[in-house]
Every structure is written in C-alpha cells, then in structure tokens.
Amino acid sequence: MERLQKQIDFIVEIDKLKNIFRQNVVIEDRRNENDAEHSWHLSMMALLLREHFIDPNVDLLKSVKMTIIHDLVEIYAGDTFCYDQEGNKDKLEREIQSARKLFSILPKDQEKELWDLWQEFEETDTMEAKFAACLDRMQPLLLNSMTEGHTWKKPGVNKNKVIERNKILRDHAPNLWEYVISKIDDAVEKGHLKE
C-alpha cells in the first residue's frame, strides 16, 4: 500500500498540469490551451499519423508514453514559449530541477522510467522520440493555422523561425512536412505570419 500511495500522490500532483497554460489557443473560444489538453491532443495524433512517419516500425506505445509525459516537467518549470530566446537559455536547467522534484514522488522504478522517457524525448535521438517531436511541432501549427496565426503574430516570430522549428518533419515525415509548408505559405499570404 505504501507503493500505491506514492503512485496516487503523483497522480494527484500532476493534476496541476491542467493549469499550466501555453501560448496557443483552443480553436473554438480562443482561450489559452493547457499542457494536459495539448498532451492529450498529441497522443491522439500519434494514434492516427504513424503511417506518415519515415520508420513504420516505430514503437507506438513508447511514442504515446512520451506524448503523455513530455510536458510534466512544466508543472514546476512553467511553459517556455518556443520563440522566447531569453526564456530558453535556462529552460533545460529549470526543467531538470522540476523533473527531479516531480518524478521523485513515484516509487524508484517508475521514477526511473519517467526520467528515462523524458530524457529520451528531450535528446530526440531515437525514432520514438523523433515521432513524438514531429507531433509536438505539428499540433501548435494546426492550432495556429485555424486561429489566424494566434501565436505567430507575437513579437519575434516569422516564417523562417516557424520553418526552422518544424524542420524535423522534413527529414522524418515528408507528407506531414509538405502539409506544414503549405500551411505556412498560406499563413504568410493571408498576413497571419511575417515573411
């Protein structure tokens, strides 16, 4: 029961992910999306889009695990806007501290499992991490393309930076990359994204 109590304590603590808000907005009412919603959306995309990933043998369960856990570290570290140069300088350090604190609530073996999964996602070396990263880039792009470029209009964002941010798709999911580029061009044409 001590082991179960640790697991429950963790499950209760991560309820806080529902109050970590991102820069992106939900399509219908344009309120900020939170990390729990974003993580769910990525996991749903993982179930549907694997066929477009360059390695069809990618371990789907492992990638789904990454989409589910990848933003947990933001519970104490907060969300850092991907185009915020200043905030990104100490992002990794803040997130490592957060991961240590959060995952240590769990029994040792599960602490290690989550730590390893998160590290693998961050390093983006394995196929499973690359697939999860592709989805993590593409989901905000879909929201932006449906909300007249909500976060693309923020200071410091332009076409080149969005392309740079998404370029993992070019090498690992050519169909998705083609789609993404068409949406970026479309947004520039409509004035939702600076050239």
Q: Looking at beta carbons only, is 57 or 85 nearer to a second copy?
A: 57
Rule CB under 8 A: say whether 92 interacts with a second copy.
Answer: no
| Interface pick for a second copy out of 23, 36, 83, 103 (rule CB under 8 A) | 36
Rule CB under 8 A: say whether 166 interacts with a second copy.
Answer: no
Of the CA atoms within 13 Å of residue 163, those in its CB half-sphere come to 13
Q: Which residue has the tokens 């798709």?
A: 169
Of the CA atoms within 13 Å of residue 194, those in its CB half-sphere come to 9
| Interface pick for a second copy out of 21, 54, 55, 60 (rule CB under 8 A) | 60
Rule CB under 8 A: say whether 69 interacts with a second copy.
Answer: yes
Residues 100-139 that bind a second copy (CB under 8 A): 106, 110, 139
d(CA 192, CA 157): 11
Q: Looking at beta carbons only, is 40 or 89 nearer to a second copy?
A: 40
d(CA 74, CA 91): 10
Q: How far is CA 35 from the centre of its chain?
A: 8
Helix (H) or strand (E) holding 92: helix 91-103
As given in the structure block, the two tokens for residue 103 are 């995952």
Rule CB under 8 A: say whether 99 interacts with a second copy.
Answer: no
Binding site for a second copy (CB under 8 A): 1, 4, 7-8, 10-12, 14-19, 26-29, 33-34, 36-37, 39-41, 43-45, 47-49, 52, 60-61, 64-65, 68-69, 106, 110, 139, 142-143, 146, 175-176, 178-179
